[in-house]
Amino acid sequence: MIMFFILILFIAIGFSIFALFFTDSVHSPIAWVSLIVALLCIYSLASKFATMSEQPKAIDVYRGKTELRVTYEGKIPVDSCVIYKRK
């Protein structure tokens, strides 16, 4: 998925560079549209990386990346939390 975003980013930047440097005028609409598309791709890629987080998943307990801690009152479990092990 990340590779797809990076590929789209490189295509947009390449198209933007092509349109800006190989058109007759900097004021041509195709140059500005391609620049806007490239900037939108950069923004979407940056926001995708910003929203990705290291949240534990259920399979991480099995893989040993997390541990489950249960709080008991007497013999009754009252609360549980997942502790993510950092390397």
| Distance in angstroms between the alpha carbons of the first and the last residue of the chain | 25
Residue 45 shares a structural domain with residue 61: no
Cβ proximity of 80 and 73 under 8 Å: no
d(CA 18, CA 61): 49
Residue-level pLDDT at 1: 62
How many structural domains does the chain have? 2
For residues 60 and 41, membership in a common domain is answered with no
- What pLDDT score does 73 carry? 92
22-33 residue pLDDT tens? 766 667 777 777
Task: Say yes or no: 59 and 72 in one domain.
Answer: yes
Question: Higher model confidence: residue 73 or residue 67?
Answer: 73
Higher pLDDT, 63 or 74: 74
Which structural domain, as residue segments, surrounds residue 78? 54-87
Q: pTM to 2 decimals?
A: 0.44
Q: Is the pLDDT of residue 2 over 80?
A: no
Cβ contacts of 39 within 8 Å, gap of 6 or more: none
pLDDT at position 49 is 73
